[in-house]
Chain A
Amino acid sequence: MLNDTWDFITGLSAAQLISYFWPFFLFDLTRYVVFDVLILTLYLPRRKRNKQRRAEARKLLFHEKPLVSVIVPGKNEGKHIPRLAESLTRQTYKKLEIVIVDDGSDDDTEIICRKLHRDGKIDQYVRNEVRGGKASAANTALYYSTGKYVIHLDADSELRYDSIETILLPFYMDANIAAVGGDIRVANLSQTMATRTQAIEYFKGISTGRTVSSMLGILRIIAGAYGAFRRDTLDRLGGWDVGPGLDGDITMKIRKLGLKVVHEPHAVCYTNVPTSFRKLARQRFRWDRSMVRFRARKHVDVLMPTSNFRLSNFVATVENLFYNLFLNFKWWFYVAQVIFFYGALLQHIIVVNYLLYTLANLAEFLVATVLLRKTLRKQDLLLFLYLPLMPLYTGLYLRVVRTYAYIMEFIHKASYADRWNPWKVSRVVKKDGL
């Protein structure tokens, strides 16, 4: 059978290659190649050239020593806070203020945090008896923090020892930068197959993908798990708007002010990801729906030629809509095409696609390794053993979840009933068409 496939491959003409495997060659390959080439030829040399500037920025940062607020909004996150507070004391940048907002927790969070506050391990603890949702919690934290820079951090994440210093440097290299995204890595990568595949996905999507988007000026999301903002900018915006997807939303609003948003691949934040494919599906369902809502509904104005039109915002949105929405539906079109027209070649086409995508994943992984090398750990490198799983993960699993989410969002406006926001908020937002 493998011989048959080999014969099939060697017998392919260029035209056949395109018509059998057009999604790979026309879309994914270009993207991979473009990304990899850009990283290798533009980003890395530029970073090398910027070494001197970074050193100066570092000098400026430590000379000025601004107060940096680390804000941690969340519900029932108390169990993570003692470890988080402890780990923040080991940062190379020390002038931190930790502000915890407890969004109506119904566990021991209050007891734990009140004690930490009394003991001076955290600087401020605000408990909202009534849950107000993520945006309100983040805004409460913003209101009670005083730092010049505000770092939004998830309670269950852990920062590399030099992470805060690193995420602040871009502010001192370009005065137009108003927000910096941190590089999210998977903390529990060795736990299950689901966490390993997600770890590889994060390397590609967040580390490589966002570095390239950032370089091209089209970065569209600063992860809520770890992002740094200038306070003046957040104050101008009145903080976060009602989510879900409030991370992407605030990034977009900052861009609309004409300010820059960048990704810093060496500012590392480890986070725990869902340990089973079932839990992962639920998480992605939420993320994907919010993508539709914020790109296609709320910020559809960036596509209109109005006064504050900016090409980069336009491109950022189009690129996002195109890759996520269009490519997703294109994939189902391709499946239908193969089954109806090339049914006899089905097994060969599957095998070849699998090989192509495995190779592409390998190439991407190598590029990510070069990009992140100084921040990688041994277990990160060992992930390459699991690369052959990736075509199944991204090609099948994620596509099914994503398609379902998009359809649901378009049909039902389902995200307004999201359990991440209390009903009182969703109801008002839905009524006002926000």
Chain B
Amino acid sequence: MSEGVLITGDQNPLHLPAKKATDDTQWRSLDVGAEADYFLLEVSSESEAYRIIGLVRQKLLPAVYLKPLILINRGGDVSKSLQDQVDFVISSQQLEQQLPAKLLDEVESINRRIDALQEQRLKADTNIALRVVRYLYSRDREVEPIASIQNRGGYTFTGIESLFGGHDQSIWQTLDFLNSQHLVQTRFVTRTHQCASCGCAFLNFKETCPQCESEELDADDLIHHFRCGYTAELSDFRQDDRLVCPKCDQTLRHIGVDYDKPSMMYHCRSCDHRFQEPEIVTTCFDCHRTAPPENQIHRNIEAYKLSMLGVNAALYGLDSLFASILERRLQLLPLDVFERFIAVEKARIGRYKVSHSSLLLLDIKGLEEIYLTLGERTSEVYEELANLFYAMLRSSDLISSRNESMFLMLLTETSPDDAKIVEGRLSSGVGELLKASLGASPEIISQIVNVDNALDLTEYLESFLSEHHAE
């Protein structure tokens, strides 16, 4: 009864009995595989696996991006990181027979949770914080930091990594944000030093001379011979392979019994300074900046799981989810609904051939990360932003968003030239507003497209995204 979609790394998908397959071209569609119970991954290499997992996890529909992933292992070891990014790993033999009942049970329970998330099955999740919250909810598990030299922060959260499409800084920022909103509970795991300039956790800790900053130091123990009171550096006592007191010629026998080491002394080879407390400095392996350890970032590395508040947010949306503000104020349409309106408008124009409508796209770069800078004040800014849109648009215009920073407006009965005027006003208004709030105006990209038969919204958006958001 349960049915999966096979995804292969090849261009020509392999078909398995009673199972649908898909490939990259089909993958463009918004709801591909939404009805399946799980995705089966058959790939020839780990990098291929990561690429496909990325494709799945970046999709917009919960039914797609949260879908249980089953990796088919054709022999050999599967890395810990890859295991962490899929839900199950099975052997090809297992696949030939029936999938194990226990696995199907778990798939079932994940899917139940995903269903619970979807009031409307086709509603898109665009907010990365919400996506993380929903992922944590659907898997009902803690996401643990994994030490990794691949990751500049020294740790990564392989479980949720694929949701982010490769920028690890935003994983940290998102988790910090969730924590600040009490949506997650943390469990202390360890602590790291990170470079204050670039966040890199790979720091070289070095002892240096407090006088000349040289790193070329020798260190020697001080030895105190009890019976004669003589105290000098270890090297003065060394005779062949024994320690002999230069004052009383006795051989030292047992530390703590006839001698001890009361302290240690450093000697700088470049300026001859002798000292006991070297200056500790850290140099970043990445940006090469040097700073004392106390000036670097010292942060707790924690594991995260949803709090009760987080569970609530997973089910009913983030209270502070900014799109909801826009939604309320502007009647922001869900993307799929907007898509249908475009189709209707295309048909109308095609039929009467007397009027023009324009599609205005406004992409405010980095807006989704505005909460990382503004925190709780973000909602005010969104409120003002909504007011601005409201003032610029006519009541007959329709608005939707692809994600929190990309807005789509259908300007009915508006020629591309008139749309230009709206575009100019909007982007300068948004620019000024954000400059006043953030101190710097973000990059704003806008495009105007004539609404006619040639317009395929999905294709247009994908090509825009691959052009402007290619990482």
Contacts and interface: CB of A to CB of B under 8 A. Distances in A.
Interface of A: 104, 114, 117-118, 124-133, 135-140, 143-144, 238-242, 246, 424-425, 428-429, 432, 434
B210 A432 contact: no
B222 A133 contact: no
A140 B274 CA distance: 13
B56 to A, nearest CB: 58
A114 B277 contact: yes
7 contacts: A118-B210, A136-B224, A139-B230, A140-B224, A143-B233, A238-B246, A428-B257
Interface in B202-238: 210, 222, 224, 226-233
B229 A239 contact: yes
A128 B263 contact: yes
Nearest to A101: B231
B222 A238 contact: no
A210 to B, nearest CB: 25
A242 B230 CA distance: 9
A135 B262 CA distance: 13
B230 A425 contact: no
Nearest to B245: A238
A138 B222 CA distance: 14
Contacts of A425: 226, 229
A5 B397 CA distance: 131
Contact of B229 (A126, A128, A241, A432): A241
Contacts of B229: 132-133, 135-136, 138-139, 239-242, 246, 425
Nearest to B277: A114
Interface in B227-260: 227-233, 246-248, 256-258, 260
A424 B263 contact: no
A424 B255 CA distance: 11
B276 interface: yes
Nearest to A429: B227
Contacts, number: 80
A87 to B, nearest CB: 25
A132 B231 contact: yes
A340 B213 CA distance: 79
B308 interface: no
Given A118-B210, A143-B232, A124 B227 contact: no
Contacts of A424: 226, 256, 260
Contacts of B261: 130
A434 B227 CA distance: 8
Contacts of A137: 231
A434 B247 CA distance: 15
B262 A136 contact: yes
Contact of A128 (B227, B247, B262): B262
B262 A238 contact: no
Which residue of B246, B262, B276, B277 has the most chain A CB atoms within 10 A of its CB atom? B262
A136 B226 CA distance: 8
Contacts of A127: 263, 276
A238 B257 CA distance: 21
Contacts of B228: 238, 241-242
A101 to B, nearest CB: 9
Interface residues of B, number: 26
A350 to B, nearest CB: 47
A124 B274 contact: yes
A130 B231 contact: no
Contacts of B436: none
Given A140-B222, A242-B228, A132 B262 contact: yes
Given A126-B265, A238-B247, A428 B276 contact: no
Contacts of A114: 277
A114 B277 CA distance: 9
A244 to B, nearest CB: 12
Nearest to B262: A128
Contacts of B248: 238
A41 to B, nearest CB: 42
Given A127-B276, A132-B224, A140-B224, 13 more contacts: A126-B265, A128-B222, A128-B224, A132-B231, A132-B262, A136-B224, A139-B231, A140-B231, A239-B230, A240-B229, A424-B256, A425-B229, A429-B227
Contact of A130 (B246, B257, B262): B262
A69 to B, nearest CB: 14
Contacts of B247: 238-239
B276 A126 contact: yes
A163 B276 CA distance: 31
Nearest to A114: B277
A284 B246 CA distance: 34
B392 to A, nearest CB: 63
B226 A238 contact: no
A428 B263 contact: no
A426 B226 CA distance: 8
Given A114-B277, A118-B210, A124-B274, A129 B227 contact: no
| Interface-central residue, B222, B231, B246, B256, by most chain A CB under 10 Å | B231
A136 B224 CA distance: 7
A223 B314 CA distance: 81
B290 to A, nearest CB: 20
Contacts of A241: 228-229
A424 B260 CA distance: 10
A294 to B, nearest CB: 14
Contacts of B256: 424
A139 B275 CA distance: 17
Across the A-B interface, the 4 shortest Cβ-Cβ residue pairs:
A238-B247, A135-B229, A128-B262, A139-B231
Nearest to A142: B231
B227 A432 contact: yes
A99 B222 CA distance: 16
A125 B260 contact: no
A242 B276 contact: no
A429 B231 contact: no
Interface string B253-289: 0001110111101000000001111000000000000
A127 B263 CA distance: 7
A104 B262 contact: yes
Contacts of A143: 231-233
Nearest to B279: A118
B264 to A, nearest CB: 9
Contact of B231 (A117, A129, A136, A428): A136
A193 B230 CA distance: 40
A129 B265 CA distance: 12
A143 to B, nearest CB: 5
A177 B446 CA distance: 95
